[in-house]
Amino acid sequence: MAVKLFFTDLDGTLMVNHRLDSRIRQGIEALRRQGGHVIFNTGRPPMSVWQMQPEVDWLICANGALIYDGEGELVSEKRIDPKDLRDFVMTFGSEPIEIVTKDGVYSNASLGELSRMFLKRKGLPAIPVFSFLLPPFLKSWETRVPAGTLMGLPAVKLEIHDADPEKMKRFLDRHPDLVNAPSMSGLSEITRRDATKGTAALEVLDLLQMDAGQAAAFGDGINDITLLEAIPESYAPETGSEQAKNAAAHILPMPDDHAVIRKMEELIRG
């Protein structure tokens, strides 16, 4: 059975230096002309994906908590229970935290604090940065939001950087309906247990009345494990995490930046 549906992570998998370059965009368009569907399945909030103006069919954001159809309409939103959100803010609110909703990202931190954390994740020195040098998605976040306001948001994902492991374990033990699926070391990304990249991919297949045998999946991070396990034809880049490579059916050699889009083009040809 030919592969027609391509679920793919973005950062560290499909994109080059966190960008959709011309080669990737041309490849996606070629796949669509051949009857294929490319579905971004990312931990990013929707705004940071729409800012790239992607030409894709369907979109899965916030590690599976949000699903948009080919017209950009929200078809699935898995909100976190307000009691769970309140406990998260009360437990971790003395540190910089981020609350993701379908409409944006809200943080108790300042833009300066967020930029320093962003640079740290990139392995760069945490020095002051002019705001115009920051990525657009970061500049769109609401900052210095009071705890009471954060507690009232329609949250779909909760984030905190460098959380104390024991404190995080105790929090998750209190909330068995939540799961932490980080995309990178040091970042906690918490959603409902039924909101993962894998469950979202299966939900999209059901909505499209397609079989998993018609799909392929690509991902490199810990938050991609459920996706790689849900779709039999799954690939982890050789540059990905060990956990992702263990979960994938195939390890994809990465001789250059465009190995993922080339593999998609190969799969659709059968």
Return the structure tokens found at 205: 């297949």
Cα separation, 114 vs 126, whole angstroms: 10
Cα separation, 72 vs 112, whole angstroms: 32
Return the structure tokens found at 190: 């918490």
In order, the DSSP letters of 107-144 are: ESS-HHHHHHHHHHHTT-------GGGS-HHHHTSB-S
Cα separation, 29 vs 38, whole angstroms: 9
Q: Is the pTM of this model over 0.85?
A: yes
Contacts of 269 (CB under 8 A, 6+ apart): none
Cα separation, 61 vs 177, whole angstroms: 19
Cα separation, 2 vs 36, whole angstroms: 10
**pLDDT string in tens for the chain (270-residue length):** 689 999 999 999 999 888 899 999 999 999 999 999 999 999 999 998 988 888 778 999 999 999 999 999 999 999 999 999 999 999 999 999 999 999 999 999 988 787 777 766 666 555 555 555 556 666 678 999 999 999 999 999 999 998 999 999 999 999 999 999 998 888 999 999 999 999 999 999 999 999 999 999 999 999 999 999 999 999 999 999 999 999 999 999 998 889 999 999 999 998
What is the end-to-end Cα distance of the chain in Å, rounded? 8
What's the pLDDT score for residue 133?
54
Contacts of 199 (CB under 8 A, 6+ apart): 64, 226, 230
Give the type of residue at 190: I
What's the pLDDT score for residue 115?
72
What's the pLDDT score for residue 167?
97
As beta bridge partners, residue 216 has 6
What's the pLDDT score for residue 192?
98
What's the pLDDT score for residue 149?
98
Return the structure tokens found at 214: 């018609």
What's the pLDDT score for residue 255?
80
Cα separation, 183 vs 220, whole angstroms: 8
What's the pLDDT score for residue 198?
98
| Cβ(181)–Cβ(191) below 8 Å | yes
Q: Which helix (H) or strand (E) holds 99?
A: strand 97-100
What's the pLDDT score for residue 53?
83
What's the pLDDT score for residue 64?
98
What's the pLDDT score for residue 72?
92
Domains defined along the chain, listed by start? 5-78+196-269 (3.40.50.1000), 82-192 (3.30.1240.10)
Cα separation, 41 vs 56, whole angstroms: 11
